[in-house]
Every structure is written in structure tokens, then in C-alpha cells.
Amino acid sequence: MKMSDFRLDGKVALVTGASYGIGFNIALGLHEAGATICFNDIKQELVDQGLKSYKEHGIDAHGYVCDVTNEDQVNELVAKIEAEVGVIDILVNNAGIIKRIPMIEMTAAQFRQVIDVDLNAPFIVAKAVIPSMIKKGHGKIINICSMMSELGRETVSAYAAAKGGLKMLTRNICSEYGEYNIQCNGIGPGYIATPQTAPLRERQADGSRHPFDSFIVAKTPAGRWLEPEELAAPAVFLASDASNAVNGHILYVDGGILAYIGKQPK
């Protein structure tokens, strides 16, 4: 093994929905390892926000407006990146949504929207980049899965269905295109300390933890929420030559939740 196997110098990475949050932090890690960063978002103001954030980190990222559920837009995006930056070596399918609605209250249209963004879009984007990966003789695809790829939970029927499907799409891309030196793996994040989850982690007026905070800490052997940057190194590994023999695998970066039945009540 050589430490250079973990380097991404000269590689072009597309991270979808990476203006902020988990995708942004993964992109920072890929850049630190040497990759050129391309990202998209659905609105120009989000792309502009992302470009500003990357610039603040000293990164000249390439930002594009694209709806990843629209196959024509995705094909145009990939062609534009290939023309302006280079063939995409690394794809991180990060863009996603969640709707927390009890199943019997969720409309079919709401269910379809989550499936469209969280499952159909990774299919569309992967389908767009694979032909050039085949021609180049290598490629890395990383799908951002979830613990809900393995577990169910109340109010997230569509999200769990989509992320379970994404796990199997990951394995099928491996099965179909592994012979072309394309590795497709997934990352399943645990509960991440982001601005969006901050209200769930604030201390209550009496100094106690928020009930959901207590629940997550009790269910996590690490005893804490994870930081967004903790997803970067696993992504770099799966994007690098160091993982060339790893294919069709879901790497759960969850602090041990999936291995743990939880604490016995006192």
C-alpha cells in the first residue's frame, strides 16, 4: 500500500446538491485530497451561496444549476462539465430530501417526490457519467445512503423506501459495471450535527437534553452526534485508488448505531 493511493490529484469530482451541509463537507475532503470540485444545486441562489462558501475555503469550485431529477438537464450538466473541466472521475450522489409525514397522511404525489429525488436522480446522474467512465477505464460512484437503508422509523416511509432502493441500486451498478473498473459504493451517515439539527440538540430551559437528543445519544455507542467533516475521510477512501477492491459496499458512518441494540432502561 502507498499513501499516494489515497490522493485524488488530477481527478474531477461532481458532488450533487453540495452548496452546503453533508455534500459540502464531503467536497471539502475531496478537494483536500487533490480533486477538482464541481457541484450543482436546483437554484442559482444556492449555487451562488455554495461558490461563496467554497471561495472562503480557498477553493475554486465549479457550480451549476441543475435539477437532478430532470434527465435532459443532467445530460447537459455532464456534457458541460466534460467540456469545461474534464471527464468526471468521481460522482457523489448527495442531493436528497425527506418528508416526515405519517404514511397514511402522505399523498402519493409526496411519496413520488421523495423517490424521484432520492432514488431516481442517483440513477439518472450515474447513468449520465458511466459511459465516459467506461471509455476512460475507471470511475468512482458514491451514493449517500442512510441508516434508513437498513432500518425503518415512523414518518419516513418514502425516505426509507428510497434509501433502501439506493442501497440496491449501488449493488447493481457494481454488478453491471465492475468489469470496467468502476466502483460504486455507498455511505450511510448517522445523525449529524448540522445547523438543521441544532434545535434538537439545544438544552431545555431546565438544563435537560431535548428528548430526541437523549434518544440519539442513548442509541449511539459513541455517545454523541457526529460532525459533518467526519464523512469526508470515508468519502476520500471510496473515491481513491485505495478502495479499488471495494465495490457494492455500504459504509455506515454512524458512530455504531446499527451495531447496537441500545441501553437497558434503568
Find, among 143, 144, 137, the residue nearest to 182 by Cα: 137
Give catalytic status of residue 252 as yes or no.
no
Q: Which is it for strands 139-144 and 90-93: parallel, antiparallel or unpaired? A: parallel
**Angle, helices 232-239/21-32, rounded to nearest 10 degrees:** 60
Nearest-5° angle of CA 176, CA 92, CA 27?
155
Catalytic position from the list 20, 54, 64, 159: 159
Strand-pairing partners, residue 253, are 189
Contact 25/232 with Cβ under 8 angstroms? yes
- Phi (first) and psi of residue 244, to 5 degrees: -60, -25
Nearest-5° angle of CA 155, CA 20, CA 227?
70
- Phi (first) and psi of residue 222, to 5 degrees: -65, -20
Q: Which residues are catalytic?
A: 159
